[in-house]
Structure 1
Amino acid sequence: MHFNTFKRQKLSQYTWVYILALGLIITSCFKDNEVDERVQSIRAAKRAPGVSAHEILSSDTYKSIKVEIHHMEGYPLSSSTASTVINWLEGLVNKPTGIQLVTKAIPAKGKEKYSVQDVRDIEDENRTAYSIGEELGLYILIVDGYFEKDTETEASLGFAHRNTSIVLLGKRMEENSNRFGKPDKDRLEITVLEHELGHLLGLVNLGTEMTSDHEDHENTGHCDNEECLMYWAVETNNIFNTLNQPIPTLDENCRNDLKANGGR
């Protein structure tokens, strides 16, 4: 009798072990698939600016966009900047289920100058929004320093460094706004962000083909129209030679390029 009881107990234990093992196998397979998709999406987000232009503009692959903004502590965007930029983007892309915005403060690194690799390392440590399923991820980082390639005569306010990635140089932006002879901080932020997003959209001739030749051949990747948002000076401190009143807009040539590549 004791033997039979022991036998039933062993069988019961083995049954539960089997069920548990089977569950772990199924769960493991499911997670492996998730991990594989995420690994692929992370890898796909490490390409050159403009490569994903059609994916961002059209609804062929992705029906929505998640814009993830991380700012280092002490360097948040002005309150109106993000909503203004999102509205601007919505007017250019075909995303039937809309654009979602998430923001977060991350610890400041305290570096005076940042290289492109520094920026990418910080992104890799913190970014969560990647292109998965029908949602495309965009990442914007605001750092607490300057760009290492700045010179005495020309300094970067921001740049697009991957196909879905932008960085703003927060300290440089702060020094060049809300002061006498300088634009308001939100106006400067909006202008630079929209310019860099323009590069992610493939402008000018960076992944979105030109419908007519309007590339500045002395400053490749930019529009030859000084009044256009995609003019080269907009992403540098030289912007103040051209930005007196309104935020620059995309000219007709740039708009035509985007429409031809799947945009509105």
Structure 2
Amino acid sequence: MRNKLLLFLNGLAIIFLVSSCDLGPDENLEDQPDIRAAKRAPGVSANDLLSANDFNSVQLEIQYMEGFRPTEEMVDKLGNFLIGLVNKPLGIEVIVQEIGGLDQEKYSVQEIRQIEDENRTAYNVGEKLGVYVLILDGYFDEDTGTEYSLGVTHRNTSVALMGKRIFENSGGFGKPSRGKLESTVMQHEIGHLLGLVDLGTPMVIDHLDEDYPGHCDNEDCLMYWAVQTRIINLREDVIPGLGENCLNDLRANGGK
């Protein structure tokens, strides 16, 4: 059974649904156009997310593996982050659900997508656009000995967070709180879904980091490359905001 909490921010509704039910795959889903529409490249749905041209609301489904439930801080801040950027007059619905963990050390992009395909239920329906977040109980298999990923955007409406990696890099001496780190990584990856930087949302002014494609050259911006790696600096426990260039890009592509 789900517990529902309806909040209103700036006149827009954010609905939080919490469930601990496991979801099974539907063998017929692949034949549905809304399922196929969710299997495109990151940034392709940027205008759909930002504008009200085709979709008036967003259903954001967050599924987490056992032991890695997202912090309330992350869920709350994510809702506010989106409300401040996207034009969705009918609001944003957030669903949080637990799924079974695989107790696996590392996950490849292919494995992440398979888990999503077996569990995701939030797809485009009418004027409601579906977005999916998966929080894993392991690490990303493309990590190296010196750098590792805290999150990855792998489809046009799909994001994965490395829950175990985030847990290990937060909460201790000299580290940000888990809520702050989790929120920062989550918002960074959502920024890629919104087409930043130059991944579907064109740049008004060139601010692309030539060494790290898809990222902003402003070190103080949320979309700076180091935000999704171990280099992240949150000593003051403050979530970086989007730089003015990124905000201008989003506005020019249908955002607020």
Aligned partner of residue 160 in structure 1, secondary structure: strand
Q: Which amino acid aligns with 1:49?
A: P
C-alpha contact (below 8 Å) 1:158/1:167 kept by paired residues: yes
Q: 1:36 to 1:42 in 2, by over 3 A?
A: closer
Q: Which runs of 4+ in 1 moved over 4 A?
A: 35-38
Q: 2:255 aligns with which of 250, 253, 263?
A: 263
Residue 180 (structure 2) aligns with: 187
Listed one character per residue, the Cα deviations across residues 182-234 of structure 1 (whole Å, up to 9, x for unaligned) are: 10000001100000000000000000000000000100100000000000000
Aligned partner of residue 63 in structure 2, secondary structure: strand
Residue 193 (structure 2) aligns with: 200
Paired residues for 1:60-75 under 5 Å: 60-75=53-68
Residue 223 (structure 1) aligns with: 216
> Does 2:133 correspond to 1:140?
yes
C-alpha contact (below 8 Å) 2:195/2:201 kept by paired residues: yes
Deviation of 1:38 after TM superposition, in Å, equals: 7.0
Structure 2 Cα separation of the partners of residues 125 and 52 of structure 1: 22
Deviation of 1:243 after TM superposition, in Å, equals: 5.2
Paired residues for 1:115-130 under 5 Å: 115-130=108-123
Deviation of 1:245 after TM superposition, in Å, equals: 3.7
Listed one character per residue, the Cα deviations across residues 230-264 of structure 1 (whole Å, up to 9, x for unaligned) are: 00000111113x65442100010000000000000
Structure 2 Cα separation of the partners of residues 64 and 77 of structure 1: 22
Residue 8 (structure 1) aligns with: none
Q: 1:254 to 1:243 in 2, by over 3 A?
A: farther
Q: 1:99 aligns with which of 82, 92, 101?
A: 92
TM-score by length of 2: 0.87
How many residues are treated as equivalent by the alignment?
A: 229
**Identity of paired residues, percent?**
57
Deviation of 1:37 after TM superposition, in Å, equals: 10
> Does 2:164 correspond to 1:171?
yes
Unaligned runs of 5+ in 2: 1-27
Structure 2 Cα separation of the partners of residues 211 and 74 of structure 1: 42
Q: Which amino acid aligns with 2:171?
A: N
Listed one character per residue, the Cα deviations across residues 55-78 of structure 1 (whole Å, up to 9, x for unaligned) are: 000000000000000000000111
C-alpha contact (below 8 Å) 1:70/1:105 kept by paired residues: yes
Q: 1:196 to 1:140 in 2, by over 3 A?
A: same
Q: 1:152 to 1:244 in 2, by over 3 A?
A: farther
C-alpha contact (below 8 Å) 1:37/1:132 kept by paired residues: no
> Does 2:75 correspond to 1:82?
yes
Residue 108 (structure 1) aligns with: 101
Q: Which amino acid aligns with 2:199?
A: L
Q: Which amino acid aligns with 2:35?
A: I
Task: Write 1 or 2 for the structure with the bigger share of helix.
Answer: 1
Q: If you compute each CA radius of gyration, which structure gives the higher value, 1 or 2? A: 1
Structure 2 Cα separation of the partners of residues 66 and 119 of structure 1: 20
Aligned partner of residue 80 in structure 1, secondary structure: helix
Task: Write 1 or 2 for the structure with the bigger share of strand.
Answer: 2
Structure 2 Cα separation of the partners of residues 109 and 36 of structure 1: 23
> Does 2:162 correspond to 1:162?
no
Structure 2 Cα separation of the partners of residues 38 and 197 of structure 1: 27
Aligned partner of residue 216 in structure 2, secondary structure: coil
Unaligned runs of 5+ in 1: 1-34
Q: 1:133 to 1:37 in 2, by over 3 A?
A: farther
Q: 1:120 to 1:36 in 2, by over 3 A?
A: closer
